[in-house]
Amino acid sequence: MQDWWEATFPKGRQTLTISDFQGYPVQIAYGSIGTGKPLFLLHGVGSWSYCWRNCIKPLSQNFQVICVDAKGYGFSEKPLNRREESGHQIIELKRIIKALVDKPVTIVGESLGGLTGLGLAETDPDLIERLIVINVPIFTQRLPHWGMNLLSIAPLEIVNIIDNLRLTNIFAPFVREILGRERRQVLFNPKMLKQEDIYWISYPFIEISGTLTKAAEELQIAAQAIANWHLKKPNLLSQIQNNLHQITCPTLILWGEHDTWFDKEDGEKLHQCIPDSLFQVLPNCGHDAAYGAADRVTKAILDFCLPIK
């Protein structure tokens, strides 16, 4: 099967070294296609750049599209010798943007990627020209899936053993079946998911050691943030929520009408918190909007970003 990066981007998969949240050098995988203003596509938890597969080409007709695998995800480095801290994605996204471009960018973030985009828009408004967030867990009160809950309470030492023994590789057909089944559940039309999609969705978990461990670690950070939110202790969610009114860039909020993870009422509430934002519900769309409603997501992005001719 042809390498997805090579098939999608003129230079295939590229790597960039940045200093991470703790100051350590870390390699980030990304792909770039098109010319014009830079537009960054950010994936959600447990995912990677492949989630944007049907949006990349049409968007590249008008933008320099840059897909980034966040640290610990996809093909980016997975430092297992140190623990992550809440909010590290925001700092690292800032450093990725500054390393790759020298002008304000448009950010399109789905789910956790959207939360990262909101955080960056608050801390570094000069970096962002426009912001689009999709099905973002800004007001979530729980992890939305049983698998996430399981990984959030699993001892990282045990998960790391599974990674080191390459058990996900040994049981690859089973892993693909589980991930394929779960991915279908967040699509409005489950039948649209192809075997090639399942292959690439599961590829990092099967072929790249450390992927499962870092996913578990990120989910444990998320679970702790939610727990602290309930206890009214300092946490990333409250920090971002309390500063939404400070977001000044034009912002578009997209929400799947049938998102079973995060209710569209959260999108309406987010719209009320961000001055001059726009809110749009995507019909016949579940949580996976970047793939499940790629045509409508692409059109919404273009309508929002391009001047009317």
| Model pLDDT, residue 81 | 84
Q: What is the pLDDT of residues 162-204, one digit of tens each?
A: 999 999 999 999 999 999 999 999 999 999 999 999 999 999 9
User: Which domain, by its residues, includes 282?
Assistant: 4-305
The pairing of beta strand 64-68 with beta strand 25-33: antiparallel
CATH number reported for the structural domain that contains residue 174 in this entry: 3.40.50.1820
Q: What is the pLDDT of residues 59-112, one digit of tens each?
A: 999 999 999 999 999 999 999 888 888 999 999 999 999 999 999 999 999 999
Q: What angle do CA 64, 201, 169 make, to 5 degrees?
A: 135
The pairing of beta strand 128-134 with beta strand 105-110: parallel
Rounded to whole angstroms, the Cα distance separating 144 from 260 reads: 8
Helices (H), the chain: 4-8, 56-59, 88-100, 112-123, 146-153, 156-164, 167-170, 172-185, 195-207, 211-230, 236-242, 264-273, 289-292, 294-305
Give which of 95, 140, 77 is closest to 114, Cα–Cα: 140
Q: What is the pLDDT of residues 278-308, one digit of tens each?
A: 999 999 999 999 999 999 999 999 999 997 6
Are 28 and 88 a contacting pair, CB within 8 Å? no
Say how many CA atoms lie within 13 Å of 250 toward its Cβ.
10
Say how many CA atoms lie within 13 Å of 214 toward its Cβ.
26
Rounded to whole angstroms, the Cα distance separating 240 from 195 reads: 38
Are 64 and 134 a contacting pair, CB within 8 Å? no
Q: How many domains does the chain have?
A: 1
Rounded to whole angstroms, the Cα distance separating 6 from 13 reads: 7
Are 72 and 214 a contacting pair, CB within 8 Å? yes
Q: What is the pTM of this model?
A: 0.96
Rounded to whole angstroms, the Cα distance separating 299 from 116 reads: 23
Give which of 180, 250, 172 is closest to 211, Cα–Cα: 172
Element (H, E) at 280: strand 278-282
pLDDT at 250 exceeding the cut of 80: yes
| Model pLDDT, residue 309 | 54
Instruction: Please name the amino acid found at residue 78.
Output: K
The chain-wide mean pLDDT, for the chain, equals 96
Q: How many CB atoms are located within 10 Å of the residue 101 CB?
A: 16
